[in-house]
Structure 1
Amino acid sequence: MTIQTAQSFSRIERILAFMVAGVVGLSILAFLGIIFGTMAGAGTNDGFSSGIWPVIFTLPYYGLPAGFLAIVALMVLTGVRRSREARQSRR
């Protein structure tokens, strides 16, 4: 049986992971806000074009692609780290 060692995550990996969770979570909350705002009647008489609504509408447009790019970057960094660790453990 092999002995498992604790994996060390770099600071950049942790920052990217929390960034993904925050940006995607905020975008999902914006989706829910739009749904509940529509149900409450905030969109009648062009109500979505004033106040905080334009920000809530544009947040998922930019937040979800940014979250996707952060996930890709996190996967690349994790793959590089794991390949380095595997290469060092073979020596």
Structure 2
Amino acid sequence: MTNQTARSSSRIERILAFMVAGVVGLSILAFLAIIIGTVAGAGANDGFSSGIWPVVFTLPYYGLPVGFLAIVTLMVMTGVRRSREARQNRR
């Protein structure tokens, strides 16, 4: 039987995971706010161009690509860490 110890994720990996959850979650909430605002009539007479609405509209535009890049970075970091651990276990 092999002795395998559970390796916890690094601080950077945890930060990236929470960043992905936060940015993507906030972007989804912004989508929902736009849908609800449209149904409620907030867009009538150019109502989306004032107040907080411009920020709500641009949040998914930048948040989703940032979330995607963070997911890819997290996957690469996890793959590199696992390959290092596998290489060390072979010795």
User: Aligning the two structures, in what range does the TM-score lie when normalised by the shorter sequence?
Assistant: over 0.9
Match of 2:40 in 1: 40
**TM-score for the superposition, normalised by structure 1:** 0.95
User: Identity over aligned residues, as a percent?
Assistant: 87
Aligned-CA RMSD value: 1.1
**TM-score for the superposition, normalised by structure 2:** 0.95
Give the C-alpha shift of residue 20 in structure 1: 0.2
Match of 1:53 in 2: 53
Task: Please identify runs of 4+ aligned residues in structure 1 that moved more than 4 A.
Answer: 1-4
The 1-side partners of 2:47 and 2:82 are apart by 51
Letter in 1 for 2:13: E
1:15 aligned to 2:12?
Answer: no
Letter in 2 for 1:63: G
Give the C-alpha shift of residue 7 in structure 1: 2.3
Any stretches of 5+ residues in structure 2 without a counterpart?
Answer: none
Aligned residues, how many? 91
Any stretches of 5+ residues in structure 1 without a counterpart?
Answer: none
The 2-side partners of 1:3 and 1:88 are apart by 13
Alpha-carbon displacement from aligned partner over 1:25-57 (angstroms, at most 9, x marks no partner): 000000000000001100000000000000000
Match of 1:75 in 2: 75
Alpha-carbon displacement from aligned partner over 1:12-33 (angstroms, at most 9, x marks no partner): 0000000000000000000000
